[in-house]
Amino acid sequence: MSRRIHFFAGFSLVEVTLALGVAAFCLIALFGLLPLGVQTNQSSISQTAAASLLSSVAADLRGTPRTSLTSPQYGISFGTAKFLYFDGQGRAVTPTDPNATPRYRVTITFPASPVGTFAPTFVSLKITWPALVDPATTIPAGFVETFAAFDRH
């Protein structure tokens, strides 16, 4: 006569409790990192849009005919500092327009350029956001800055 021993496959209550505890700990850590990921994503979107806007302004300045002192698209006069405002879609807006919300502020300045027959024209472009915050008095949420030299001869 032989005895048969039956083993039932399964997990004990202690094993299930430990597995749930480890899973809960991992989920809490994951949910803690979620706001940081969203913030980083929003920051990268803003930086990409700002770099695209700066590229557009620089292309407008580069495409200005040598016989003209004012750029065709944004009306930037060479040698005169100017502020431009853009909405979230990349359209140029005015800060007083009730139908548009400016998101980016472009500061265009012309540092001293060298003198000479073939001397370049220097342009400093800085974009900050939010647009209605003055970067001279308040730290903006973000900014992108570039420097360009144009041959106007």
Residue 26, SS3 per DSSP: helix
CB of 58 closer than 8 Å to CB of 149:
no
In sign, the C-alpha dihedral spanning 145, 150, 93, 133 is positive
DSSP 108-130: EE-PPPPPSTTPPEEEEEEEEES
- CA atoms of 68 and 8, how far apart (whole Å): 89
Q: What is the pLDDT of residue 50?
A: 93
Would residue 41 count as lying in a domain? no
Q: Which residues pair with 92 in a beta bridge?
A: 86
Instruction: Tell me whether residue 17 is in a domain.
Output: no
What range does the domain containing 103 cover?
48-150
Is residue 54, in this structure, part of any structural domain at all?
A: yes
pLDDT at 100: 87
**pLDDT digit string (tens) for 4-17?**
776 777 788 999 99
The helix/strand/coil state of 85 is strand
Q: How does DSSP classify residue 140?
A: -
Q: Is residue 109, in this structure, part of any structural domain at all? A: yes
**Contact assessment for residue 112 and residue 119, using Cβ atoms and an 8 Å cutoff:** no
Q: List the chain pLDDT tens, one digit each, 153 residues.
A: 567 776 777 788 999 999 999 999 999 999 999 999 999 999 999 999 999 999 999 999 999 998 899 999 999 999 999 999 999 888 999 988 888 889 999 999 999 988 888 889 999 999 999 988 888 888 999 999 999 999 887
Give the span between the Cα atoms of 68 and 56, in whole angstroms: 18
d(CA 151, CA 137): 34
Residue 1 lies in a domain: no
User: Is residue 30 assigned to a domain?
Assistant: no
Residue 42 lies in a domain: no
Q: What is the pLDDT of residues 78-97, one digit of tens each?
A: 999 999 999 988 899 998 88
Domain count, the chain: 1
pLDDT given at position 81: 95
Looking at residue 40, what is its pLDDT?
Answer: 93
Q: Judge whether 20 lies within some domain.
A: no
Q: What is the pLDDT, as a whole number, of residue 1?
A: 58
Exposure string of 88-127, with b = 16+ CB inside 10 Å and e = fewer, is: eeeebbeeeeeebebbbbbbbebeebeeeeeeebebebbb
